[in-house]
């Protein structure tokens, strides 16, 4: 049975296309477009999964939600982009796979939503800014001399952290030069460029 990615334009789903391209796996994309006014996913995604969010991966006759789980399943299935099991790197990898969505996305999303409140959100903004700087600063500090987040090669953690790193590089590249270099290295990969072609509009480009 084939693999299908339910892909929302301009979303975290882009990194799943990137990983599939890196793995050289055959897959199909079902495209969904954000609403031009609300920026939300279209209702058709709720027919695939009750939350109606993307990415969603159809594989082996079931639908998997949550990017981190999708990345882990794909890396394990194809035996690639994972550190050696039982090593310190494997533990670090697990930690960072969860950090990407569990921690790094929280201030990013708060910034997005509270920013829409205008003056009403002003009292919250200093704490959000401080947490954004803390999380981006942490990522900047743990990026290894190899240019990867774990070990000396590409892993699923690099895929997961590419999204918060892209936000950091967009918002303040000069404050986070290592993250900006990491993002440039990701974007230079032929697999990322193929995924970008197939995925459609991403970050306005």
What phi, psi does 116 have (nearest 5°)?
-75, -10
Beta-carbon contacts of 168 under 8 Å, excluding residues fewer than 6 positions away, are 136, 139, 140, 176, 179, 180
Phi, psi of 58 (to 5 degrees): -95, 125
Residues 164-193 that bind ligand GSH (CB under 6 A): none
Q: Which of 49, 59, 64, 66 binds ligand GSH (CB under 6 A)?
A: 66
Candidate list 11, 72, 111, 162; residue touching ligand GSH; CB under 6 A: 11
Nearer to ligand GSH by C-beta: 8 or 29? 8
E strands in the chain = 4-8, 28-32, 56-59, 62-65
Q: Does 53 bind ligand GSH (CB under 6 A)?
A: yes
Residue 155 sits in the site that holds ligand GSH (CB under 6 A): no
Buried-state track 162-172, b at ≥16 Cβ within 10 A, e below 16: bbbbbbbbeee
The window from 5-13, 79-87, 148-156, 177-185 that contacts ligand GSH (CB under 6 A) reads: 5-13
Residue 104 touches ligand GSH, criterion: CB under 6 A? no
The contact set with ligand GSH (CB under 6 A) reads 8, 11-12, 40-41, 53-55, 66-67, 101
């Amino acid at each position: 049975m084939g693999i299908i990615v339910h892909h929302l334009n301009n979303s975290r789903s882009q990194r799943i296309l990137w990983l599939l391209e890196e793995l050289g796996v055959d897959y199909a994309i079902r495209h969904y477009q954000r609403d031009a006014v609300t920026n939300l996913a279209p209702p058709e995604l709720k027919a695939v999964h009750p939350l109606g969010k993307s990415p969603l991966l159809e594989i082996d006759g079931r639908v998997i939600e949550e990017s981190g789980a999708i990345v882990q399943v794909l890396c394990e299935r194809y035996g690639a982009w994972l550190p050696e099991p039982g090593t310190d790197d494997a533990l670090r990898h697990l930690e960072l796979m969860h950090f990407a969505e569990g921690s790094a996305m929280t201030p990013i999303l708060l910034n997005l939503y509270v920013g829409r409140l205008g003056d009403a959100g002003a009292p919250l903004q200093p704490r959000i800014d401080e947490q954004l700087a803390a999380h981006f600063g942490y990522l900047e500090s743990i990026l290894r001399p190899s240019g990867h987040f774990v070990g000396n090669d590409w892993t699923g953690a690099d895929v997961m952290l590419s999204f918060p790193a892209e936000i950091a590089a967009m918002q303040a590249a000069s404050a986070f030069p290592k993250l900006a270099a990491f993002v440039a290295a990701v974007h230079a990969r032929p697999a990322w460029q193929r995924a970008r072609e197939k995925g459609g509009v991403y970050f306005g480009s």
